[in-house]
Amino acid sequence: MSLILFIEQILNGVQFGVMLFLMAAGLTLIFGVMGLINLAHGSLYMIGAFAAASVAGLTGSFGLALIASLAAAAAAGALIELTVIRRLYDRDHLDQVLATFALILIFSEGTRWAFGSFPLFLEIPPYLSGPVTLPGGIEYPLYRLAIIGVGLLVAAGLFALIARTRIGIQIRAGESDREMIAALGINISALYTTVFALGAALAGLAGALIGAIQSVQVGMGEPVLILAFVVIVIGGIGSIKGALVGALLVGLTDTLGRVLLPAVFSQFMAPQAASSVGASLASMSIYILMAGVLVMRPSGLFGKA
């Protein structure tokens, strides 16, 4: 494989990882602050994508579409937090799993009812389409580069939010000691709703950004949700840094595995067999990575032991 192709694949892996980070960051924040496992996070991703596709279809503006995805997912997040999720904070994980599984059913079928089973498409705007030439003569799609940029900006923003701002202090206090934030006179239920809506907005943004490279359809969220879980298991629950490192690891492993493994197997197998064995193994590579981390560090790379 040529070096240029290799670098391209690394960029693809980073782009994928950055998207996973947007999902995993929200999940891990929600878990860290509220102790809640939210399976319906994938639905928020889907809602963001549908909102963006609808608004882009009506107005033709990609910028408005992104704003719509943030707003719709945050609103949906706040709504379910106020009606359902807050009843779950004191419950065990089983109840949380079931209730949020029920939310998936409701959101998925509701969306199918409203939009039908056919996928929607979100066009990449002209100013972001086409390739750019990177140093070294590598041609790479501008849009994917933009996704990487947005993802890294969001990551930087999140780190700053948590390290520097009032709400960040509250989040950190909430992670270490729930009673302390009550003692500090912070309105916990408002904080929880805010954190949940923030996580939802990140998921919605991810859905919209990816919606422009893949199709927008019901059920798009759950595979990404499960990958985000893998990211969290690898990175460690509650750690934003862990989510970023885990997301990049998963993104790179998955992308490079798909390209490299068939190539490796073709060295000593017939081409067709090599591509199918390689593809099967590649689809398992991130789970093997996860298993490896579990053996070495059961609480994740950056988790509290």
Binding site for other proteins (CB under 8 A): 31, 37, 84, 87, 93-95, 97-99, 101-106, 108-110, 112-113, 222-223, 226, 229-230, 232-233, 237, 276, 279-280, 283-284, 287, 290-291, 294-295, 298-300
What is residue 139's three-state secondary structure? strand
Amino acid at 271: P
Closest distance to other proteins from the beta carbon of 68 (Å): 24
CB of 299 to other proteins, least distance (A): 7
SS3 call for 253:
helix
Distances (CA, A) of 100 to 35, 39, 87, 182: 14, 5, 12, 26
Nearer to other proteins, 143 or 302 (CB): 302
Of 79 and 124, which CB lies nearer to other proteins in the complex structure? 79
Minimum distance, C-beta of residue 96 to other proteins, in the bound complex (Å): 8
Give the shortest CB-174-to-other proteins separation in angstroms: 16
Which residue's CB is nearer to other proteins, number 39 or number 122? 39
Of the candidates 201, 236, 190, the residue with the CA atom closest to the CA atom of residue 75: 201
Q: Shortest gap between Cβ of 236 and other proteins (angstroms)?
A: 9
How many other C-beta atoms lie within 10 A of the C-beta of residue 253? 22
Residue 152 or residue 297: which is nearer to other proteins going by CB? 297
- Give the burial string for 79-99 (b: 16+ CB within 10 Å, else e): ebbeeebbebeeeeeeebeeb
- Separation in Å, CA 199 to CA 42, 45, 73, 81, 174: 11, 10, 9, 11, 16
CB of 108 to other proteins, least distance (A): 7
Indicate the residue among 214 and 283 with the shorter CB distance to other proteins. Answer: 283
Phi, psi of 133 (to 5 degrees): -100, 120
Q: Which of 141, 235 has the CB closer to other proteins? A: 235
Give me the amino acid identity at 193: T
